Amino acid sequence: MPPKPNLNPNPPSFPSLLDVLIIGAGPCGLAVAARLREETPSAMFTDDEHQRYHWINKHSGRMALVQAHHRKRRGVRAERYEFEGGLRTRRGSTPTSTPIPGRMAGAGDAPSLSSSVSSAPEMEFEDGERADTGVSTLVLDSSGDRWMEKWSRAFRTLEIEQLRSPMFFHVDPRDRDGMLAYTQEEARERELWEISGCVGKEVSKHKKKKMMGRSKAQAVGEVEIDERDRKDYFSPSTGLFADYCDSIVSRYGLDSPDMIRQCEVEDIGYDYHSELSPSDKIFMVTAADGSRFYSRVVVLAIGPGRTKILPFKLSGEEMNGACHSTEIRSFPSPNVKAKIKQRQETNVVVVGGGLSSAQVVDMALRKGVTRVWFLLRSDFKVKHFDLALNWMGKFKNFEKAAFWSADTDEERLEMIKAARNGGSITPRYQKILKQHVARHRLSIHARTVITGREYCASSRTWRLTTDPPVPDLSRIDYIYFATGMQADVNELPLLRQMNRDYPIETKQGLPCITDDLMWQPDVPLFLTGRLGSLRLGPGAANLEGARLGAERIAWAMEDVLGWKSPDTTGSERSKECFCGLGNRYADLADVDGWEA
């Protein structure tokens, strides 16, 4: 990223004016902060993915393709950038190709990186191994003053040993295979688990018969991930992933003591300021303690949202006998722990359907709970990932192209729902839960909801009624709701003023933001993570979505902050050409009588 221009100093009475204010120090916030300090990011998409869009551009106007033409739009990058695989890239640039692995790891082996080369060149840092772009950045987070504090706390609390994501889902902007490289460099291959059953599996005769006579588009959902990608489908331990994120923080100099401030953001406003130019608007961010921060750009990276999904509202007394999974601070609850210590019978209900609910069930039984009733509103679904495999494997480009080419946000929303299909559990945890069922300590009830409840404050127990009725349901000592969070911009308190002053359309709580992830074309409030789903796709809430969102934001930030590339001569021009930015003949524009 080119250095920021010299700006006129602010009046003495005016507080510090930041370039970028990031709200949220989780994976999405870290991905944005790292990307803003990376000058030579790796390719986000493969050559095959780019090839389709180059073909569309070449035949634009001659073929009946949905949205093949470029619509004239107002806003950042609308004229200088074009879509490739759902990502806006600079017109005339050459995408960096993804290296083709030379030797594949055998089934069950840890992946080898002997032939995997980073697609980005080594950066030159101003301070040893740290990058410094001169962009003034501050991060606000309600959970702590360190990166990934809330993420790490949740994994420690639920004692999660392994990520669900594959190795190419991470927040490093420099290298798609960065986590694999880090694992090998640190000799920590033993901390990788192979995600078995999704790579190299042959299509059964029954499936082949079903696929006969069907188009490729109709059959992609029944094709497994290609064998050549086996090295990517390992999942890291939580410790390995945390250490890798720490290395990214250190590499980009994001670990300075004043980088992250712990505070709860209450309000975001965007307006003119009396002590600045009357033509420039800035953001004023107000915290719960009364602190105010001023910035030219704000990035909202708060993850899945802050509204807990509960089947019913808990009263003050009932909160002593139940909680949402995000509120767990000690496990099990004090009353259950006391009963276990006294060797009394304990009964717990877990309501959910996703991987978190299965992890709570397993941890409760390992901690000594006598019996757990697992209630699922829908079916018991088992998947390797929270996305369908066709969004991650050989034909993922087709799905991304279809999503980008959708005519309306309603259509995109339906595609997101179909790809995610509600909560699901991994095959590994399915096996664990089956073992608990075989020991008669776990009872699983799909398509079951709580219809009635009665909480006794003196005994601290529940009497529950369900539909359909659960046989032999004892008095319950505690209820855990692993029911997820709702991403609804209309209900976020910190966006009240933005919704009032700059209203935008929403689809079931998801904002219809610009393709650059901006609130409006002239309002540089960027949203990433799940709140960017209508532009990023079904993977927006995952680590892949965090990296993709950071890439789009970084490109748009150049115009928003008015960055102008300096005269690139000598080594700078060579560096641009090496990265596929522009072309080496651009200097001819400076020769009299020539036009670029």
Structural contact between residues 160 and 236, judged by C-beta atoms closer than 8 angstroms? no
Q: What is the mean pLDDT of residues 201-218?
A: 42
- Which pLDDT score, from 0 to 100, does residue 563 have? 59
* 212 Cβ neighbours under 8 A, 6+ residues apart: none
pTM of the model: 0.76
Highest mean pLDDT among 81-95, 183-197, 441-455, 581-595: 441-455
pLDDT digit string, tens, across residues 2-53 = 444 444 444 444 568 999 999 999 999 999 999 999 887 876 655 444 444 4
Q: Are strands 137-141 and 260-262 parallel, antiparallel or unpaired?
A: parallel
Greater confidence, 307 or 438?
Answer: 438
pLDDT at 16 (0 to 100): 84
| 3-state DSSP of 459-490 | CCEEEEEEECCCCCCCCECEEEECCCEECCCC
pLDDT tens digits for 233-261? 889 999 999 999 999 999 999 999 889 99
Lowest mean pLDDT among 21-35, 58-72, 162-176, 483-497: 58-72
Mean pLDDT of 53-58: 46
Q: Which of 166, 151, 158 is nearest to 236 (CA)?
A: 166
> What is the reported pLDDT for 348?
97
Res 395: pLDDT: 67
- More confident position, 113 or 428: 428
Determine the pLDDT at residue 194.
Answer: 87
* Least reliable range by pLDDT among 386-400, 433-447, 554-568: 554-568
Q: Residue 214 — very low, low, confident or very high, per pLDDT cuts 50/70/90?
A: very low
Contacts of 406 (CB under 8 A, 6+ apart): 412, 415
DSSP-H helix ranges across 62-185: 149-157, 178-185
Please give the Cα distance from 500 to 503 (Å, whole number). 6
Phi, then psi, of 443 in degrees rounded to 5: -125, 120
pLDDT over 50 at 420, yes or no: yes
Question: Which of 318, 359, 314, 335 lies closest to 477 in space, CA to CA?
Answer: 335
**Has residue 551 got a pLDDT over 50?**
yes
The class that CATH gives domain 310-386+422-483 is alpha beta
Residue type, 498: M
What local confidence, expressed as pLDDT, does residue 329 receive?
A: 86
Per-residue pLDDT, 454: 95
Average pLDDT over residues 398-420: 89
Long-range CB pairs of 271-277 (<8 Å, 24+ gap) are 271/501, 273/14, 275/10, 275/11, 275/13, 275/14, 276/10, 276/14, 276/17
Report DSSP state, residue 589.
G
* CA distances from residue 592 to 122, 588, 595 in whole angstroms, order as listed: 36, 9, 8
| Residue corresponding to tokens 């299909």 | 421
Q: Which residue has the higher pLDDT, 135 or 278?
A: 135
Q: Determine contact, residues 512/542, Cβ cutoff 8 Å.
A: no
For strands 523-527 and 518-520, give the pairing. Answer: antiparallel
Q: Mean pLDDT over all residues of the chain?
A: 78
Band of residue 88 on the pLDDT scale cut at 50, 70, 90 = very low
For position 573, what pLDDT does the model report? 52
| pLDDT tops 80 at residue 549 | yes
Instruction: Answer whether residue 114 shows pLDDT above 80.
Output: no
The pLDDT value recorded for residue 120 is 31
Cα–Cα dist 399/406, whole Å: 11
The continuous run of DSSP H or E covering 266 comes out as strand 265-272
Please tell me the predicted confidence (pLDDT) of residue 459: 92
The CATH code for residues 17-43+96-104+111-185+239-305+488-560 is: 3.50.50.60
d(CA 140, CA 512): 25
- pLDDT over 50 at 213, yes or no: no
Give mean pLDDT, residues 497-518: 94
Of 483, 140, 152, the C-alpha closest to 313 is 483
| pLDDT (average), residues 306-319 | 88
Question: Which position has the higher pLDDT, 67 or 329?
Answer: 329
**What pLDDT sits at residue 60?**
47
pLDDT at 581: 54
Per-residue pLDDT of 342-391, as tens digits, reads: 999 999 999 999 999 999 999 999 999 999 999 999 999 998 888 887 78
Among residues of the chain, what percentage have pLDDT more than 90? 52
Task: Return d(Cα 563, Cα 557) in angstroms, integer.
Answer: 8
- Three-state DSSP at 222 gives helix
Please, where in the chain does CATH 3.50.50.60 lie? 17-43+96-104+111-185+239-305+488-560, 310-386+422-483
